[in-house]
Amino acid sequence: MKLTVGVKIGAGYALALLVLAAFGILSYRNATGYVEAIGRRVSDYQLIDSLQGVMSAMQDTETGQRGYLIVGEDRYLEPYRSGIAAVDKYLSKLRSLTEANTDQQRELDALEPLVAAKLDELKETIELRKSKGFDAALKVVQTDRGKQIMDDIRKIVGQMSGRVRMSVAQLDDEISARSRMSIYGIVYGIPVAAITLSLLGLLVTRTITHQLRESIAQLSSSAAEILATTTQLASSAMETATAVSETTATVEQVKQTAQLTNQKARYVSDSAQKAANVSTVGRTAVGDAVQGMHRIQEQMESVADSIVRLSEQGQAIGEIIATVNGLAEQSNLLAVNAAIEATKAGEQGKGFGVVAQEIKSLAEQSKQATAQVRTILGDIQKATSTAVLATEQSNKAVDAGVKQTGETGESIRLLADSIGEAAQAATQIAASSQQQMVGMDQVVVAMESIKLASTQNVAGTRQAETAAQDLHTLGQRLGDLIGSRSA
């Protein structure tokens, strides 16, 4: 199977990354192992220091105890007291350092009771020296119980220190081995990786260069052929675009002529339509006028009837006024009589006299009002008579107007029919002109589309020609970059 250039380059990079990854993993493992070994070695040395610290602190406690037993002064107990504090500190540190080692934890479990027993023995002798003297304390020392405990402590501490020192020696060997591996990896791995990658790069470069030479040769040949073809196409497309532009200009002139004709036809159609609308409105207005004249005639008749009824009601009002006038005279007479009676009554009739006076005053006002109403009623009766005469004359005028309006309506109807026929003919002419205009628009749109396509073809061929030229130049540059086959 023939591999592509991209696949080959990718495979080369993948192999290079694989080599570097292997070298990196090996270096990482050596480095992490080296760091871990150093850490364990440091921890072991801390463990050894702590074990030595325990022994040194225990020896300080014995020194302080012996000095106090011999001399009997408290100042000799300073090593004893500082040794006790140091023992507690070192035992806590040993417990922390050996958390991950169960064997060492068991040894500490055995060591701590011995340390406590030794400290109790020292404390006991010190207390006896204080309370009972040197001889009593000496007897306890001579039992060798404290010496036996101290020997057991030295034994356990020595065993633990020995094992830890063996571990330190093993770690030193491991550290040395990992150091050598790291040095070997740097001294031999890097040159091997460099040589491998160089050979791989040379192989990939030769393979890709060979394929690129063949491809560039084909590319240059194809680009030359495409360039010749696109040059011919560009020339033909330019001639076609020129012809299409001339045709488009001619069609545009025809379109303008059709537009002018269509505008005139639409103007005639609109004018005829307006005349038809005016005649229709005129017919409607004449019909409305005839109906209005009839309504006026009916209203005049109604007005005449109303005037007659008004005259009759005026007579009735005159009779009512006469009756009201009689009532006013009687009320005046009654008021006079009431005033006479009130005067006769004296003080008791004063209020009644006032009422009688008011009634007399109202009666006088009623007489005056009836007189005014009688005067106004007389004027109304005169005006009513005049209105009756005017109404009769108006009825005659309305009859003549109805007759003339009917004759005018018939003339307008005939005129509207003639105008309607003319408007219909003008509308048909405008419709035909509009159809012609639509056809011309379609022709113009089609020519514009052809012109646009021709322009695009010219531009496309120019771009193709440029692209072919660029492709040919690119092939030459690639050939110059890669070099000749002999090179």
Cα–Cα separations (whole angstroms), residue 371 to 317, 321, 376: 12, 8, 9
Over 60: is that where the pLDDT of 270 sits?
yes
* 223 within a domain of the structure (yes/no): no
* 403 within a domain of the structure (yes/no): yes
Instruction: List, in order, residues 6 or more apart from 245 with CB less than 8 Å away.
Output: 451
pLDDT band at 89 (very low <50, low <70, confident <90, very high): very high
Tell me, rounded to whole angstroms, the distance of Cα 427 from its chain centroid. 56
Distance CA 16, CA 465 (A): 43
* 215 within a domain of the structure (yes/no): no
Q: What share of the chain has pLDDT > 90, as a percent? A: 21
Over 50: is that where the pLDDT of 487 sits?
no
Most confident of 43-47, 186-190, 259-263, 297-301: 43-47
Q: Are residues 83 and 184 in the same domain?
A: yes
The domain in which residue 157 lies consists of 5-210
* 217 within a domain of the structure (yes/no): no
Q: Are residues 47 and 182 in the same domain?
A: yes
Tokens of 299: 């209203």
Tokens of 101: 């080692």
Per-position b or e across 341-365, b if 16+ CB within 10 A of its CB: ebeeeeeebeeebeebeebbeebee
Phi first, then psi: give them for residue 133, nearest 5 degrees. 105, 180
Distance CA 102, CA 95 (A): 11
Q: What share of the chain has pLDDT > 70, as a percent? A: 79
Most confident of 54-63, 230-239, 330-339: 54-63
Distance CA 466, CA 79 (A): 101
Q: Are residues 243 and 172 in the same domain?
A: no
- Residue pair 381/314 in contact by the 8 Å Cβ criterion: yes
Total of domains in the chain: 2
Tokens of 105: 């934890």
- Residue pair 235/465 in contact by the 8 Å Cβ criterion: no
Q: Are residues 472 and 417 in the same domain?
A: yes
Over 70: is that where the pLDDT of 258 sits?
no
Look at 316 and 151; give whichever has higher pLDDT: 151
Q: Are residues 241 and 373 in the same domain?
A: yes
**Of 210, 243, 260, which marks where a domain is finished?**
210
Q: Are residues 302 and 416 in the same domain?
A: yes
Distance CA 189, CA 182 (A): 10
| SS3 letters across 24-61 | HHHHHHHHHHHHHHHHHHHHHHHHHHHHHHHHHHHHHH
- Residue pair 440/254 in contact by the 8 Å Cβ criterion: yes
Q: Are residues 202 and 257 in the same domain?
A: no
- Residue pair 79/85 in contact by the 8 Å Cβ criterion: no
Look at 450 and 395; give whichever has higher pLDDT: 395
pLDDT band at 422 (very low <50, low <70, confident <90, very high): low
**What Rg, from alpha-carbon coordinates, does the chain have?**
71
Cα–Cα separations (whole angstroms), residue 446 to 115, 244, 391, 464: 114, 11, 77, 26
What digits encode the pLDDT tens for the residues 188-211?
777 777 787 788 778 867 776 776
* 355 within a domain of the structure (yes/no): yes
Q: Are residues 265 and 354 in the same domain?
A: yes
Look at 59 and 229; give whichever has higher pLDDT: 59
Tokens of 84: 């006790």
Q: Are residues 114 and 258 in the same domain?
A: no
Q: Are residues 206 and 315 in the same domain?
A: no
Nearest CA to 269 out of 439, 420, 436, 441 is that of 420
Average pLDDT over residues 446-454: 72
What digits encode the pLDDT tens for the residues 9-28?
777 778 778 877 886 787 77
* 259 within a domain of the structure (yes/no): yes
Look at 450 and 166; give whichever has higher pLDDT: 166
Instruction: List, in order, residues 6 or more apart from 424 with CB less than 8 Å away.
Output: none
* 218 within a domain of the structure (yes/no): no
**Of 176, 210, 244, which marks where a domain is finished?**
210
What digits encode the pLDDT tens for the residues 284-296?
876 886 687 788 6
CATH number at residue 59: 1.20.120.1730
pLDDT band at 257 (very low <50, low <70, confident <90, very high): low
The residue type of 433 is S
Over 50: is that where the pLDDT of 108 sits?
yes
The residue type of 176 is S
Over 70: is that where the pLDDT of 278 sits?
no
Q: Are residues 132 and 271 in the same domain?
A: no
**Of 210, 238, 271, which marks where a domain is finished?**
210
Question: Residue 123: what pLDDT?
Answer: 93
Q: What is the pTM of this model?
A: 0.38
Place of tokens 């080369």: 12
CATH number at residue 248: 1.10.287
Place of tokens 């307008």: 412
Q: Are residues 178 and 247 in the same domain?
A: no
Question: Residue 486: what pLDDT?
Answer: 43
Question: Residue 398: what pLDDT?
Answer: 66
* 344 within a domain of the structure (yes/no): yes
Average pLDDT over residues 211-235: 70
